[in-house]
Amino acid sequence: MQFTSTQGEMLRCLNMVEKAVATRDVQEILTGIYLECGDGKLTLRATDSEISMEAYTTVETTSPGSMVLKAKYFVPLIRRLPSGEVTFKQLKEQQMLEITAGNGSFRLQTMVGEDFPSLPMGNVLPLLEMPCHVLAKMIRQTAYATREDQGHSVFAGVLMEYKADELRLVATDTNRLCFNRQTIPGGEDFNFILPARTCIELQRILPTDSESTVKLTLVGNQVLFRQNDVILVSRLLEGQYPDYSRVMPASTETEIVVECRELTSALERANLMHKQSSASVTLDIEEGILILRTRDVELGESEESLSVKQNGPTMRSAFQARFLLDMLKTVSTDKVRIGLSSGMNPGTIRPLDSDDYVYVIMPVMTPR
């Protein structure tokens, strides 16, 4: 195998697939990146058997072939090569790849390409095509609420549900829940749970422009996302996702409208008065004033008030400050609507004029 490309293009492709390389040496071949060239096209692939990624680029092919290179050495080498043309040539007898760039030439041990697993492709038509920036935003506004879970329960993933031209993403760690929906016409119904890690990798490969689109396909127990010249395949989480609509309150007793940035910085200050990350902040709403209070038995206490637009009776509720902040940091509007109810009933936060992004959060029960 022999082909010529540029340092910049090779690095761009490697950056795409690198995150799927297996970090633990369970199967040695999976710690490598697969290269295959032919017909002026280069395919790069990596997989850790949970996530697989593939990228394509055009190259000048002298002779076709395939091989696997240890990612740990190959990627840093390409990163440090001078920009410009790079030639890759397989030295058959020695199982080596010779990389020539500028005045340098490097020979790297290779593994046999035939042993590398291929992607589950099939001839399945995509179920949905959607703008990349929409999906990226939806993931950004849900994935943070998943639970860090070694047990691989359904809470370690984001529910993706498509029905009647509407895509819905839901995530919960049982303390709070994110619900996000967008109308995207022209797809076929589906419903699966995407692991949180896949969400992060997916977000990384989605371009931010408003033109690009991504296609989604289900192949067995795996989902395949195709964006232009990159493919991401991921295993899905198995299990039954709980009926999220039952925990989303239809209404709340008191509703306030508050400046998002003001509230965020007040919460950040309040959160300093705590040694624990799990500390709570009490919200008192009375006559258009929101008072935030915190108290830590060891450290001290804080009190800060904000003026808000209030609709409903006087209300007191406590939440973990970090859970409130998680959500507020992902809102793109200036103001948010917060709904609160007494007792063990959940509160809600949503952007001022939209019901497409709803955050449901359970209160902290503080002893009297």
Partner 1 sequence: MNQIICLDETTANKIAAGEVVERPASVVKEMVENALDAGATSIDVEIREGGKDYLRIVDNGQGIPEAEVPIAFERHATSKIRRAEDLFQVLSLGFRGEALPSIAAVSELEMITKTFDAPVGTLIAFSGGKKMRLEKVGAPVGTTVTVRRLFFNTPARLKFLNQAASERRYVFDILGRLALAHPMVQFRLVSDGEEIFVTPGDGNMEAVMWSIYGSRIGSNLLPVEREANYITIRGLVCKPDVHRGNRQAETFIVNGRVVESSLMASAVEKGYQSLLPRRRFPIAVISLTMEPSHLDVNVHPAKREIRFSDSSEVYKQVMLAVRNTLESRLSFKAWSLDSSQKATPMATKEAVKQPRLRFPYESKSGKIDSYQKIRPTLPFASRPKTGLANDEVATARIGYTPEQQGTCGEVMMVSEASLSMDTNTDPIGDMQYRVLGQFQRTYVLAEAEEELWLIDQHVAHERILYERLQKQLQAKRIEAQALLVPLHLELGITSTSAVLEWGPKLAELGFEVTEFGPKDCLVRTVPTDLSGISEKELGELLLEIIAKGQTNDYRETTLIIMSCKGAVKAGEWLSLPVMEQLVTDLMATKNPFTCPHGRPVVVRLNLRDIHRRFGRI
| Binding footprint of partner 1 on the chain (CB under 8 A) | 147-151, 153, 155, 172-177, 242, 247, 275-276, 278-280, 295, 297-298, 318, 320, 344, 346, 360-367
**Least distance from partner 1 to the Cβ atom of residue 349, Å:** 14
In the complex with partner 1, the residue whose CB is nearer, 109 or 174, is: 174
Whether residue 128 contacts residue 215, with contact meaning beta carbons closer than 8 Å, is answered with yes
What does the block give as tokens for 357?
Answer: 């992004």
What does the block give as tokens for 52?
Answer: 């697989």
**Least distance from partner 1 to the Cβ atom of residue 174, Å:** 5
Whether residue 166 contacts residue 224, with contact meaning beta carbons closer than 8 Å, is answered with no
**Least distance from partner 1 to the Cβ atom of residue 114, Å:** 28
> Long-range contacts for 89-94 (Cβ within 8 Å, ≥24 apart)?
89/1, 89/2, 89/62, 90/1, 90/2, 90/65
**DSSP 3-state of 193:** strand
In the complex with partner 1, the residue whose CB is nearer, 77 or 364, is: 364
Give dist(CA 68, CA 90) in Å, integer: 11
In the complex with partner 1, the residue whose CB is nearer, 88 or 357, is: 357
Give dist(CA 219, CA 201) in Å, integer: 19
In the complex with partner 1, the residue whose CB is nearer, 125 or 344, is: 344
**Least distance from partner 1 to the Cβ atom of residue 49, Å:** 17
**Least distance from partner 1 to the Cβ atom of residue 121, Å:** 32
In the complex with partner 1, the residue whose CB is nearer, 16 or 361, is: 361
Give dist(CA 167, CA 305) in Å, integer: 38
In the complex with partner 1, the residue whose CB is nearer, 92 or 368, is: 368
Q: DSSP label at 242?
A: P
In the complex with partner 1, the residue whose CB is nearer, 98 or 296, is: 296
Q: What is the DSSP string of 302-350?
A: EEEEEE-EEESS-EEEEEEHHHHHHHHTT--SSEEEEEE-STTPPEEEE
**Least distance from partner 1 to the Cβ atom of residue 257, Å:** 23
Q: DSSP label at 87?
A: E
**Least distance from partner 1 to the Cβ atom of residue 266, Å:** 20
What does the block give as tokens for 193?
Answer: 């749970």
